[in-house]
């Protein structure tokens, strides 16, 4: 049977990579004595699939994985047993059957909250800058790839941006951006562009992935 | 700002930030205000190397069993992070509580290889602790060291406050107990050093005077006070089966060098290879029982969740109940997909059968260690392997589907000639021929030949021998390269001769090398074991400036009555035995395995393991 699990990646583990995360889960399932299903073949791997990798240094309250078990397991039981043996900073928020849910591979949108430190005499200036960036049809950035430097327009990947709060020299900016195969842009890059617009330095304090989901013109579907 | 806060800002800028993060599953958190002794266990290399080492893990969990002791881990920061630390004024800190190392009661280093010594100096400097022990004052941590390199502690004698010789499980607790009472009494640092010198297995180098002969050899190493032992006997765990062994190992996030659960099955080795220090200093052989190992294995996997369990020892095939143990463990872990790995297998028909069963279909390479290219030289070093043994095993391996074999040799062994060096190549060619016979062609075959250079080690029969010169090393490597050039199935790699030369200097060096280490460190030597960091030029200029001649240590053949720097240590084996073995080696005479006949090495006086009980001494 296949379970879908939603988990969070907190500050204590913000620097571990996607591969580290996979290893950690494999070992945690064994500690929890949950009967993972494995692939056949020369080098059996556990049957776990994840949503797109989170960049190192970013925390998240919305990561998902599909896990196959050899036996029937109740979602609540799996959550309790796993949470008892997970390292500090990783926690299963909920679990349910993966049947009749959108495939994790279709997840194409994420919201991030970026905490920045800035010195701004006029707070509305920041809001203006954000709107300016959001309304642009073209934001061309240079991306270095294996075959050299490429120009990419990131404007279509930014769906929404807004200022959540702006007090005591820190501002929380919420951004909804495209992730996955059809194109993605990192919150860091958007902040760099925002700096250009404002002609001011914005120091990133933290980046948090708030939610990931499937998005089309009319709908927003959560994986679980 | 606390170190923790600074890290959040700095770690995004460094490679592999997980190295400095701590907080792994099973890592131990204690309130450092509610303890009596704070111990930093340091490995003088990066996290992924240090976390692969068993000894430090045993001590970590052992010490943390005591509620009033807090042991934390410390590793060498990689150079990118070190630069940032120096720039931002962050001192070396512990992984668990992110406490500056200078605030600890003890800073203990494990000495696994000589080329990590400069990292120790660098770590002391990063901690803000004086490098030389005589510059430390009340309130500085005691710098202690253990591990195989302490069998010749002298090169670090001016740096380390005291050494723990031998197996540390018992003695470390005695030291902690003494320290607790010392702290309560509020006595001086010097007084503690004098008292700790009374614990068996502890060597406090500052309490000894060394005098030298005109030719630069050592005249005497004598205690300055009457109540200080003249010789330090190694500590040994008599009952290995019941000794503490952790099951709640820390589980790293990042991919470390040996990323698996480790189960130690025995200590010591009965083979008696004459170049091998581990085979001598860890005598006698002591095994753990199958019952105990089965219990430990289950507990370790339950507590860590590791998917691989490695059986650790000097020579896995020699565990008396290996077949039974592997059968039990494979059965036990079939369901949970935990694979077994058996490193240090001596490859014979029996082991191959085991390897097949354990690895089932996972056919990674097989490693064979003939060590020398001709039978004569293998007899000299007492490596009881024949060409026939090797080729039969290789044939079996090829027939069972293995395609990659690694052959490990040493060059520069005592009495080696070019015939022996050529023998290395001939053996590799013979392996290729076996594959051809089995498969009709050489498709898919990979023979990886690697050579290191012989380094004479203390407490081996070859401790009096010289190392071949650097130019001889390079000549012999060049010769092998030319022999292998024609063969596309064979790839040849070799250990940098310059590193082997320095290893030879430090493995048999004395106190005068402390100054060289300091100068080398000042010139920026660190991570010498890492190719891209090693600078032979800096080292040579350090020797030049200090006036210490490295050739004196590496190339000089010692006379049998010379007082060696390590003679201050008693490893439990007799010099007479080592000399007998040296003489036999010169006649290419072999000495059979101790399990066949006792050779009176002296370890029987340690009264452990029972290796000599039923046999007559010669």
Is residue B325 included in any domain, yes or no?
yes
Question: Hey, which residues 17-46 in chain B have their CB within 8 Å of chain A?
Answer: 17-18, 21, 23-25
Task: Give the three-class secondary structure for B297.
Answer: helix
**Residue B183, domain member (yes or no):** yes
**Is there a single domain that holds both residue B432 and residue B523?**
no
Say yes or no: B274 and B153 in one domain.
no
**Helix residue spans in B26-131 (DSSP H):** 47-50, 54-64, 79-88, 117-127
- Residue B196 and residue B49 share a domain: yes
The interface pTM score, or ipTM, of the predicted complex is 0.90
pLDDT at B14 over 50: yes
Report the CATH number at residue B123: 3.40.50.280
Q: Which residue of A has its CA nearest to B248?
A: A31
CA of A37, closest CA in chain B: separation in Å?
Answer: 10
Which positions in chain A touch B12 (Cβ < 8 Å)?
A: 15, 56-57
Q: pLDDT class for A120, splitting at 50, 70, 90?
A: low
Total domains in chain B come to 4
- Residues B455 and B523 reside in one and the same domain: no
- Please indicate, yes or no, whether residues B154 and B76 belong to a single structural domain of this protein: yes
| B304 and B376 assigned to the same domain | no
Beta bridge partners of B262: B310
| Shortest Cα distance, chain B CAs vs residue A113, angstroms | 17
Judge if B38 and B125 occupy the same domain. yes
Residues B368 and B277 in one domain: no
Chain B nearest-CA distance from A154, in A, is 24
Domain assignment of residue B500, yes or no: yes
Show Cβ contacts of residue B530 under 8 Å, excluding neighbours closer than 6 positions: none
What integer best gives the mean pLDDT of chain B? 94
* φ and ψ of A57, to 5 deg: 100, -10
- Same structural domain, B405 and B477: yes
In a domain, B140, yes or no: yes
Q: Do B16 and B95 lie in a common domain?
A: yes
Asked whether residue B27 is assigned to any structural domain, the reply reads yes
Question: How many angstroms separate the CA atoms of A180 and B430, rounded?
Answer: 53
Query: Looking at the structure, do residues B187 and B85 belong to the same domain, yes or no?
Result: yes
Residues B86 and B212 in one domain: yes
> What CATH number did the domain enclosing B306 receive?
3.30.750.210
Q: What are the structural domains of chain A?
A: 2-101 (3.30.70.580), 107-221 (3.30.2350.10)
- Number of CB atoms found within 10 A of residue A138's CB: 8
Q: What is the mean pLDDT of residues B249-260?
A: 94
Q: Is the pLDDT of residue B206 over 90?
A: yes
Residue closest to A184 by CA, chosen among A214, A206, A152, A209: A152
Q: What is the mean pLDDT of residues B562-576?
A: 96
The average pLDDT across B610-617 equals: 55
| Interface test with chain B among A15, A23, A114, A208, by most B beta carbons within 10 Å | A15
Cβ distance B337 to A44 less than 8 Å, yes or no, reads yes
Domain assignment present for B61: yes
Question: Could you tell me if residue B244 is inside a domain?
Answer: no
| Strands B266-267 and B286-287, sheet pairing | antiparallel
Question: What digits encode the pLDDT tens for the residues B132-180?
Answer: 999 999 999 999 999 999 999 999 999 999 999 999 999 999 999 999 9
Are residues B410 and B451 in contact, defined by beta-carbon separation less than 8 angstroms? Answer: yes
Is B489's pLDDT higher than 60? yes
Does B254 reside within a domain? no
Pair B372, B378: CB distance under 8 Å: yes
For B415, the domain range is 363-510+548-556
Whether A115 and A191 have beta carbons less than 8 Å apart is answered as no
Report the 3 state secondary structure along B187-244.
Answer: CCHHHHHHHHCCCCCEECHHHEEEEECCCCCEEEEEECCCCCCCCEECECCCCHHHCC
CATH number at residue B431: 3.30.750.200
Task: Assess whether pLDDT exceeds 50 at residue B361.
Answer: no
Question: Tokens 């000042």 sit at which residue?
Answer: B522
> Quick one: pLDDT at residue B237?
96
């Amino acid at each position: 049977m296949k379970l879908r699990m939603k988990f969070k990646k907190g500050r204590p583990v913000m620097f571990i990579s996607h591969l580290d995360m996979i290893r950690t889960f494999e070992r945690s399932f064994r500690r929890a004595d949950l009967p993972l299903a494995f692939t056949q073949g020369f080098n059996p791997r556990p049957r776990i699939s994840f949503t797109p990798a989170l960049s190192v240094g970013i925390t998240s309250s919305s990561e998902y994985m599909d896990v196959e078990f050899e036996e029937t397991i109740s979602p609540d039981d799996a959550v309790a047993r796993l949470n008892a043996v997970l390292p500090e900073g990783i926690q299963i928020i909920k679990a349910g059957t993966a049947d009749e849910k959108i495939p994790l591979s279709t997840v194409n949108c994420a919201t991030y909250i970026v905490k920045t430190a800035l010195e701004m005499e006029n707070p509305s200036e920041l809001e203006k800058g954000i709107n300016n960036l959001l309304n642009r049809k073209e934001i061309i950035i240079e991306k270095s790839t294996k075959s050299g430097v490429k120009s990419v327009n990131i404007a279509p990947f930014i769906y929404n941006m807004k200022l959540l709060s702006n007090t005591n020299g820190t501002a929380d900016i919420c951004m909804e951006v495209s992730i996955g195969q059809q194109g993605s842009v990192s919150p860091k890059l958007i902040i760099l562009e925002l700096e250009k617009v404002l002609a001011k330095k914005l120091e990133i304090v933290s980046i948090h992935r708030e939610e990931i989901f499937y998005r089309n013109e009319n709908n927003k579907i959560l994986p679980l | 700002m606390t170190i923790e806060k600074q890290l959040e800002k700095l770690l995004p800028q460094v490679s592999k930030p997980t190295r400095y993060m701590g907080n792994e599953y099973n890592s131990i958190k204690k309130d450092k205000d509610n303890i009596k002794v704070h111990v930093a266990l340091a490995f003088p290399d990066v996290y992924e190397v240090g976390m692969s080492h068993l000894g430090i893990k045993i001590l970590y969990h052992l010490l943390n069993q005591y509620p009033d002791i807090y042991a934390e881990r410390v590793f060498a920061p990689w150079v990118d992070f070190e630069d940032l630390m120096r720039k931002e004024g962050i001192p070396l800190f512990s992984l668990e509580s992110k406490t500056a190392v200078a605030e600890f009661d003890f800073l203990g280093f494990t000495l696994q290889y000589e080329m990590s010594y400069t990292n120790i100096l660098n770590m002391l400097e990063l901690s803000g602790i004086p490098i030389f022990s005589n510059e430390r004052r009340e309130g500085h941590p005691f710098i202690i060291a253990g591990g195989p390199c302490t069998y010749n502690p002298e090169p670090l004698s001016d740096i380390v406050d005291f050494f723990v010789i031998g197996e540390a499980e018992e003695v470390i607790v005695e030291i902690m107990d003494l320290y607790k009472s010392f702290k309560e009494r509020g006595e001086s640092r010097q007084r503690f050093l004098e008292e700790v010198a009374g614990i068996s297995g502890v060597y406090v180098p500052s309490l000894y005077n060394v005098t030298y002969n005109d030719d630069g050899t050592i005249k005497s190493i004598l205690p300055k006070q009457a109540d200080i032992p003249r010789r330090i006997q190694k500590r040994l765990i008599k009952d290995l089966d019941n000794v503490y062994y952790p099951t709640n190992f820390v589980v790293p996030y990042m991919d470390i060098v040996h990323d698996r659960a480790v189960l130690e099955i025995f200590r010591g080795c009965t083979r008696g290879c004459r170049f091998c220090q581990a085979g001598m200093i860890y005598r006698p052989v002591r095994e753990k029982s199958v019952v105990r190992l089965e219990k430990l294995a289950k507990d370790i996997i339950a507590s860590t969740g590791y998917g691989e369990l490695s059986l650790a020892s000097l020579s896995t095939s020699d565990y008396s109940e290996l077949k039974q143990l592997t059968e039990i463990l494979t059965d036990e872990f079939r369901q949970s997909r935990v694979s077994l790995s058996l490193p240090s297998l001596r490859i014979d028909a029996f082991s191959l059968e085991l390897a097949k069963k354990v690895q089932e279909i996972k056919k990674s390479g097989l490693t064979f260690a003939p060590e020398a290219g001709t039978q004569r030289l293998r007899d000299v070093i007492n490596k009881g392997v024949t060409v026939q043994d090797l080729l039969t095993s290789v044939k079996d391996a090829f027939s069972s589907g293995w395609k990659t074999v690694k052959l490990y040799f040493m060059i520069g062994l005592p009495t080696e000639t070019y015939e022996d060096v050529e023998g290395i190549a001939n053996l590799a060619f013979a392996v290729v021929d076996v594959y051809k016979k089995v498969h009709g062609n050489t498709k898919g075959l990979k023979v990886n030949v690697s050579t290191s250079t012989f380094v004479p080690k203390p407490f081996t029969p070859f401790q009096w021998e010289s190392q071949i010169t650097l130019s001889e090393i390079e000549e012999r490597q060049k010769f092998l390269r030319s022999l292998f050039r024609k063969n596309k199935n064979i790839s040849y790699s070799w250990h940098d001769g310059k590193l082997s030369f320095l290893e030879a200097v430090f493995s048999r060096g004395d106190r005068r090398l402390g100054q060289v280490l300091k100068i080398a460190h000042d010139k920026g030597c660190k991570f010498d074991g890492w190719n891209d960091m090693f600078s032979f030029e800096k080292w040579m200029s350090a020797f030049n400036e200090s006036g210490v001649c490295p050739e004196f240590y590496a190339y000089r053949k010692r006379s049998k009555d010379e007082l060696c720097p390590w003679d201050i240590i008693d490893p439990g084996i007799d010099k007479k035995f080592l000399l007998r073995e040296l003489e036999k080696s010169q006649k290419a005479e072999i000495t059979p395995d101790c399990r066949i006949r006792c050779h009176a090495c002296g370890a029987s006086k340690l009264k452990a393991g029972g290796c000599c009980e039923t046999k007559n001494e010669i």
